[in-house]
Amino acid sequence: MLLACLTWFATSFSAYASGAKLPEPEVKIDVLYRPFLCHRKTKLGDMLLVHYEGFLESNGTMFHSSRILGDKHPVWFTLGIREVIKGWDRGLQNMCVGEKRKLTIPPTLGYGKEGKGKIPPESTLIFDIELMEIRNGPRSHESFQEMDLNDDWKLSKEEVKEYLRKEFERHGYPANSTHHEVMVEDIFKKEDEDNDGFISAREFTYKHDEL
């Protein structure tokens, strides 16, 4: 115990001294099955359809199974926008359809100090996850590339305005450039986090905090 404390202190101190963030626990990823054919791998911003079982590491209790409980359907979510716990956002990248993974997720990347429902506070979680399908998310790189007309990996106000114009036209609305200007300003207020006048690929794809 003392040794553990000393190690912890030494690690914290060196992190503090070097100005770096405290080292954060990681998700442990075990690939249980990887299909031979893999046309596409998951990336941040994709929509994923998964079946999963969740267990408490402490006593092996299964707290959820998408196959057995609820409507027994697999679930959709968007990767990398904190729609799910951090452990999933981090642990389900570069995954092929048909692939099965076991994730061991420390509490800080799961439900933390509070816990949730059947999950007690400070629980390490184990998930068996099978990826059923991948789709382009609304904040996928494909959508970004479509909007980025000059391929410089950032969206200018003009590009966003042009995108809005096309979208409105596609849905049969009359063009109203004053309205679009207002919308563009509003979008940039929310999305251009570093205020450099452009929406970068990163600002576009990562909706919330960093993973």
Interface residues with Ca ion (CB under 5 A) are 148, 150, 152, 192, 194, 196, 198
* The pair of three-digit structure tokens given for residue 187, joined into one six-digit string: 């979008």
From the CB of 157, what's the least distance to Ca ion, in Å? 10
Give me the residues paired with residue 149 across strands: none
> What is the chain's alpha carbon radius of gyration, rounded to the nearest angstrom?
21
From the CB of 54, what's the least distance to Ca ion, in Å? 37
From the CB of 19, what's the least distance to Ca ion, in Å? 24
Nearer to Ca ion, 99 or 192 (CB): 192
CA angle 48, 33, 129 (to 5 degrees): 40
* The pair of three-digit structure tokens given for residue 176, joined into one six-digit string: 């109203």
From the CB of 209, what's the least distance to Ca ion, in Å? 16
From the CB of 153, what's the least distance to Ca ion, in Å? 7
What is the Cα–Cα distance from 171 to 164, expressed in whole angstroms?
A: 11
From the CB of 168, what's the least distance to Ca ion, in Å? 20
Nearer to Ca ion, 88 or 198 (CB): 198
* Cβ pair 78, 47 in contact under 8 A: yes
DSSP annotation string for 50-84: EEEEEEETTT--EEEETTTSTT---EEEETTTTSS
Nearer to Ca ion, 89 or 148 (CB): 148
Nearer to Ca ion, 111 or 206 (CB): 206
Nearer to Ca ion, 55 or 198 (CB): 198
What is the Cα–Cα distance from 43 to 59, expressed in whole angstroms?
A: 32
State which amino acid sits at residue 62: M
* The pair of three-digit structure tokens given for residue 140, joined into one six-digit string: 């996928």
CA nearest to 99, candidates 56, 145, 133: 133
Nearer to Ca ion, 152 or 185 (CB): 152
